[in-house]
Amino acid sequence: MSEYIFLFDLDSTISKKEILPTISMRIGKLEKMRELTEATMRGEIPFRTSFLNRVKILTPVNVSEVNALVAEIPLNEAISQFIRENRERCYVLTGNLDVWISGLMRKIGMDQHVYCSKAEVREDRITQVISVVDKELMAKQFVQPLVVIGDGDNDSGMAKYADIAIGFGGVRNIAPSLLRNIDYAFYDDIRCAEFLKSLL
Amino acid sequence: MDKKKITVIICCAGMGTRLGIGTTKALVNINGKPLILHQLELLDQYDDIRIVLGYQAERVISVVTKYRNDIMFAFNYDYKNTGAAASLSKALPGAREYVVSMDGDLVVHPQNFKEFLDYNGECIAVSDCNSDEPVHIDVENSKVVRFSKNGKYEWPGLVKIQSGRLTPHSGHTYEMLNTVLPIDVLHVQTRDIDTPDDYDRAVAWVEAGYERTGGKNE
Ligand SMILES: [Mg+2]
């Protein structure tokens, strides 16, 4: 048995869709959200700036409502199952907000295994963002050998600290900056999970 | 042989060409199709296929994933400083009992290739000499006994071997294999595509249904 710890990106790696754009669509604010999300994934806007702006778009919605919608987002089944079956060795590393993803994290058994951004909530509304996670810094703090799985530009930082870096392009194309920093790429959920199992 | 026991590794990392067309050999057009798709069609019944990429990786990925998306891609961006064995080694983690390793520029007779894949156990493919800088092979009693400079046959880069017998290496693939010989030999017809003349001959050969025309030495 190996000692690898598996570090997963959330959006488009565990989930079958980008989470914030999907929520915006439900409340009719897709266009603005999509522009920001796409530009961020291409690496044109720093993640923190873009994330704070994207949170603003969803601020008028009740937190409990967003949380429930996020929990229903379709998932890459084989990857999620790998996480459920190996929860003690898996962690989720996402820029998304604790108050929005807690339901989803519980669903895949990661509620105690997630590093994410944090916000303050009063009367079911976000009053302010407290911290925005820096994935590269977080990944750097792990002392066990790491397998990192992601798809976006902001996963390149954590890929640098991985012993094995994997790109998952099954939902959207792997960001070019990430593709240059990975050891393996998969475009099929099942094949990706099979390979992860072989690394256990 | 049980196809579920086999991992197929196609090494395309350093496949630049002297053909003067600025594309990796994996994407060279052979009778209307990129070479890599000709290879994948012959591997339709295999479900653990790994392609090692470096030069023009994104282009190869986009062509391959349109054909099938259950491929594992491995990257060797250091292909200029390492041998083909480094590419092969990169794709070995978690491999099944047998590994089939082949080069991304292999144009092979489909029936011969099938016989090679089905062959029960380890084997090394040999072909008649037709390249500029061949790796030669010495054969004794139907077994490959050594790689050499002037053996009777040429090694087209095709081998099937137990994955547990391979040790990661960064030089030439034949150096990696030298320690595990002797291995059974299987004759296959192949064509090289190193030069524009080679290319024309290979295309003619494929077009003629892999009939024996167009070999350099025929
Ligand atoms: Mg993502």
One digit per residue, the tens of pLDDT, for chain A of length 200 reads 899 999 999 999 999 998 988 889 888 888 888 888 888 878 888 888 988 999 999 998 999 999 999 999 999 999 999 999 999 999 999 999 999 999 999 999 999 999 999 999 999 999 999 999 999 999 999 999 999 999 998 899 999 999 999 999 999 999 999 999 999 999 999 999 999 999 99
| Residue B195, min C-alpha distance to chain A (Å) | 30
Asked if the C-beta of A178 comes within 8 angstroms of chain B's C-beta atoms, the answer is no
- What CA–CA distance (Å, rounded) separates B70 from B83? 27
Is the CB of A184 less than 8 angstroms away from the CB of B74?
yes
pLDDT tens sequence across B26-63: 999 999 999 999 999 999 999 999 999 998 999 999 99
Model pLDDT for residues B66-120, shown as the tens digit of each residue: 999 999 999 998 888 888 899 999 999 999 999 999 999 999 999 999 999 999 9
3-state secondary structure chain A: CCCCEEEECCCCCCECCCHHHHHHHHCCCHHHHHHHHHHHHCCCCCHHHHHHHHHHHHCCCCHHHHHHHHHCCCECHHHHHHHHHCHHHEEEEEEEEHHHHHHHHHHCCCCCCEEEEEEEEECCEEEEEEECCCHHHHHHCCCCCEEEEECCHHHHHHHHCCCEEEEECCCCCCCHHHHCCCCEEECCHHHHHHHHHHCC
DSSP run (H or E) holding B145: strand B143-148
> Which of B52, B61, B67 to mutate to test binding with chain A, by most A CBs within 10 Å of its CB?
B61
Query: Cα(A97)–Cα(A118) distance, rounded to whole angstroms?
Result: 5
Cβ of B94 within 8 Å of Cβ of A191? The answer is no
Predicted confidence (pLDDT) per residue in A34-90, tens digit: 888 888 878 888 888 988 999 999 998 999 999 999 999 999 999 999 999 999 999
Amino acid in position B171? G
pTM score? 0.93
User: How many other β-carbons are positioned within 10 Å of the β-carbon of residue A179?
Assistant: 22
Task: Output the CA A55–ligand 1 centroid distance in Å.
Answer: 17
> In this structure, are strands B136-140 and B153-154 parallel, antiparallel, or unpaired?
antiparallel
> What residues contact B97, with CB distance under 8 A and at least 6 apart?
B5, B6, B162, B163, B164
Supply B65's token pair: 């994933």
On the 0-12 / 13-18 / 19+ scale of CB atoms within 10 A, A27 is middle
Nearest CA-CA distance, residue A28 and chain B, Å: 33
- Tens of pLDDT, residue by residue over B123-165, are 999 998 777 778 899 999 999 999 988 888 999 999 999 999 9
Q: Which of B72, B90, B93 sits opposite A186 (nearest CB)?
A: B72
Which of A11, A13, A60, A12 has the alpha carbon at shortest distance from A32?
A60
Q: Are B27 and B12 in contact (CB under 8 A)?
A: no
Is the complex ipTM more than 0.90? yes
Domains of chain B: 3-207 (3.90.550.10)
Structural domains in chain A, sorted by start: 5-198 (3.40.50.1000)
Instruction: Tell me the nearest-neighbour CA distance from B3 into chain A, angstroms.
Output: 16
The answer to whether B54 and B24 have CB atoms below 8 angstroms apart is no
> Best of A183, A186, A194, A196 to disrupt the B interface by mutation (most B CBs within 10 Å)?
A183
